[in-house]
């Protein structure tokens, strides 16, 4: 059997712990150390139970030569710096989305990765969902003919805390970034122009932070495809995640998944099960596939399924969307080259 990849985790919040649980259950990885600047007793104990040492000092990971890969789950502001430090230390990197809110910092990070010739994979787990990826296959292999219109619906069950909103960078870079990435992934083309608009009718408080609760965007791609993205911080029925691809030969649509497939018929109609409440349940399997994919890229030192370039492009689209939401106009997406 292959040796597990010794990995250190930066950021032990909700998403960090979720990844750790997956990593621990996989034979591909051995989680060696966890770091969180706000490490508390509860987390310390959780890590201890999993047999993982932990500390508040990122250097504990970067300076440990036995650790060959890092997973970055810390707050967005720290991502670029951690990527650079990991790259310099020769470690392969898995980084949660978005790479950064700032395009220049992203470019610095990508440059460091390139120089060090390490793997960088970005956490767009939507790509690994079997339903979404079935549609991607059907587009890529021509099953639907020429793709003409792509529609993505992406809704969270409930808005996050206002603190989160205030630090999120806004709905486009924080939330719709998944959908911007999926649109690129599915069309296989780059976005030329974006129109975006939004509203906070679902939670007026969000507008106090200069943000919106629902974001709606139309993307025009270089290959002529149009994508219509429909998102909301709230859909009271759960994590609504659907894709629709209209091609010249037909239309492929996926549906949400359901907790079970029982329908109950009464005098009042029929009733079916809930959709998963939020992304950890909805993308449970996708998170595992994503890590398996990362492990393979690391072992073979090959291009990962989701690259730093992908991470950059999604941020550039988000940037244009945010500008459009203010200007009320179709806005071009910046072209940036990673020198």
Distances, alpha carbon 207 to alpha carbons 129, 176, 237, in Å: 32, 17, 23
C-beta closer to a copy of itself: residue 75 or 158: 158
C-beta closer to a copy of itself: residue 124 or 195: 195
Please check whether residue 9 is in contact with residue 19, taking contact to mean a CB–CB distance below 8 angstroms: yes
135 binds a copy of itself (CB under 8 A): yes
Report the nearest approach of a copy of itself to the CB of residue 171 (Å).
13
C-beta closer to a copy of itself: residue 86 or 325: 325
Among 64, 81, 148, 281, binds a copy of itself (CB under 8 A): 148
Count CB neighbours of 300 within 10 A.
10
326 binds a copy of itself (CB under 8 A): no
Report the nearest approach of a copy of itself to the CB of residue 17 (Å).
17
Distances, alpha carbon 316 to alpha carbons 63, 68, 98, 114, 322, in Å: 33, 30, 11, 20, 10
User: In the structure encoding, which two tokens stand for residue 217, read together?
Assistant: 């965007």
Of the candidate spans 8-16, 31-39, 111-119, 151-159, the one that interacts with a copy of itself by CB under 8 A turns out to be 151-159
Residue written as token pair 């030192």: 301
Report phi then psi at 245, rounded to 5.
-125, 110
Size of the site for a copy of itself (CB under 8 A): 70
Report the nearest approach of a copy of itself to the CB of residue 127 (Å).
14
Report the nearest approach of a copy of itself to the CB of residue 19 (Å).
18
Please check whether residue 11 is in contact with residue 39, taking contact to mean a CB–CB distance below 8 angstroms: no
Q: Which positions ≥6 away from 93 have C-beta within 8 Å?
A: 69, 70, 71, 72, 83, 86, 87, 113, 118, 119, 120, 121
Residues 215-234 that bind a copy of itself (CB under 8 A): 216, 218, 220, 224-226, 228, 230, 232, 234
What single DSSP character describes residue 190?
-
Among 274, 278, 326, 334, binds a copy of itself (CB under 8 A): 274
Among 134, 192, 284, 299, binds a copy of itself (CB under 8 A): 134
Report the nearest approach of a copy of itself to the CB of residue 21 (Å).
12
Of the candidate spans 14-22, 91-99, 173-181, 236-244, the one that interacts with a copy of itself by CB under 8 A turns out to be 236-244
Q: Which positions ≥6 away from 81 have C-beta within 8 Å?
A: none
Among 151, 192, 284, 299, binds a copy of itself (CB under 8 A): 151
Q: Which positions ≥6 away from 298 have C-beta within 8 Å?
A: 5, 68, 69, 92, 119
d(CA 67, CA 16): 17
Interface residues with a copy of itself (CB under 8 A)?
1, 49, 130-131, 134-135, 138, 143-146, 148-149, 151, 153, 155, 193, 195, 197-199, 201-202, 214, 216, 218, 220, 224-226, 228, 230, 232, 234-238, 240, 246, 248-257, 259-275, 328-330
């Amino acid at each position: 059997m292959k040796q597990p990849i010794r990995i250190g985790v930066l950021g032990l919040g909700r998403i960090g712990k979720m990844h750790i649980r997956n990593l621990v259950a996989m034979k591909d990885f051995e989680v060696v150390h966890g770091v969180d600047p706000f490490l508390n007793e509860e987390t310390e104990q959780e890590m201890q139970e999993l047999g993982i040492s932990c500390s508040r000092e990122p250097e504990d990971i970067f300076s440990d030569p036995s650790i060959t890969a890092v997973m970055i789950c810390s707050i967005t502001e720290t991502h670029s710096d951690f990527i650079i430090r990991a790259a310099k230390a020769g470690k392969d990197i898995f980084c949660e989305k978005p790479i950064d809110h700032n395009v220049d910092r992203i470019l610095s990070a990508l440059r460091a990765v390139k120089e060090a010739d390490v793997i960088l994979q970005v956490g767009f787990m939507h790509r690994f969902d079997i339903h979404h990826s079935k549609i991607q296959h059907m587009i890529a292999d021509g099953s639907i003919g020429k793709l003409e219109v792509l529609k993505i619906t992406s809704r969270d069950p409930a808005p996050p805390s206002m603190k989160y909103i205030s630090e999120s960078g806004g709905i486009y870079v924080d939330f719709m970034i998944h959908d911007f990435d999926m649109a690129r992934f599915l069309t296989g083309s780059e976005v030329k122009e974006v129109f975006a608009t939004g509203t906070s009718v679902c939670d007026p408080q969000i507008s106090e932070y200069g943000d919106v609760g629902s974001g709606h965007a139309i993307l025009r791609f270089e290959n002529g495809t149009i994508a219509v993205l429909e998102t909301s911080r709230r859909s009271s029925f759960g994590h609504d995640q659907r894709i629709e691809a209209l091609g010249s030969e037909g239309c492929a649509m996926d549906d949400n998944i359901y907790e079970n497939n029982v329908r109950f018929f009464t005098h009042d109609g029929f009733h079916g099960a809930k959709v998963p409440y939020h992304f950890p349940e909805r993308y449970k399997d996708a998170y595992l596939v994503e890590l398996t994919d990362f492990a393979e890229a690391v072992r073979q030192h090959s291009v990962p399924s989701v690259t730093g370039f992908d991470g950059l492009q999604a941020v550039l689209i988000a940037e244009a969307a945010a500008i459009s939401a203010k200007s009320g106009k179709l806005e071009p997406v910046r072209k940036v080259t990673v020198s």
